[in-house]
Amino acid sequence: MKVKTKSGKVNKAWLNDHVNDPWVKRAQKEGYRARAAFKLEEIDQTFGLVRPGAFVVDLGSAPGAWSQYLRRRMGTRPDPQGTSSLNGTIIALDLLPMEPIEGVHFIQGDFREAEVLARLEAVVGMAKADLVVSDMAPNLSGIASADAARVSDLIELAVDFAREHLKPEGSLVAKVFHGGAYDALVHLFRQTFRTVKVHKPKASRDRSAETFLIGMGLRD
């Protein structure tokens, strides 16, 4: 005998919202792997972050929607066969596997592990990035203090990476969540970057606590 649980009702409601979501439908129509592509698109269009020829690092990249957007944005005009070459460099990293994207160098591993960070830094080499984007998010437990600590840990690692590997005029985009760690993370960004913006794209669900911090220009 099957019993309807609260979680089952929640999952069914989420699935219904997902199927009928106009952003999901648009992503499917335009060939993006997730609606998240339009979050980065809006941030880029608002702040002018992605340029052809750029060096970009995509943290928390799976399933690949942000890397897809970057690849299209940094692609040259298609040749008669409909293909375009990448004008720039995109390095992506995620704990989960990601289907290949032409021209994108993907590393699978946990960003919190020193060995994985070393692999990423080996690929980056001596180059300095124009842009680091982070859609990383921990698995949330529902325990506010623990979740705030997990979020802070990832964002602090992303900021540390940006300090080491961004050009002086480079930018960092990071997903954060309103909650116990939010004010401290905004403060961290303001300590690190000359200009800090907070932006919630239209493609973010209204009920979601997520928002994005954009830091531009490293402080000396």
Residue 64 counted as an annotated binding residue = yes
* Catalytic hit among 2, 175, 197, 200: 175
Residue 66 counted as an annotated binding residue = yes
How many whole angstroms separate alpha carbon 61 and alpha carbon 66?
Answer: 7
Residues contacting residue 98 through CB under 8 Å, at least 6 positions apart: 61, 62, 63, 64, 67, 92, 106, 108
How many whole angstroms separate alpha carbon 65 and alpha carbon 69?
Answer: 6
How many whole angstroms separate alpha carbon 77 and alpha carbon 49?
Answer: 20
What residues are paired with 104 via a beta bridge?
90
Residue 153 counted as an annotated binding residue = no
List strand residue ranges (DSSP E) for 21-153, in order.
Answer: 55-59, 89-94, 104-108, 129-134
Residue 79 counted as an annotated binding residue = no
- Does residue 128 carry a catalytic annotation? no
Phi-psi region of 149 (alpha: psi -120 to 50; beta: other; left: phi over 0): alpha
Residue 21 counted as an annotated binding residue = no
Instruction: Give residue for tokens 């990448």.
Output: 86
Integer CA distances (angstroms), 24 to 18, 36, 42, 43, 169, in order: 7, 9, 15, 18, 34
Binding positions are 64, 66, 94, 110, 135
Q: Write out the catalytic residue numbers.
A: 175
Binding positions for S-adenosyl-L-methionine are 64, 66, 94, 110, 135
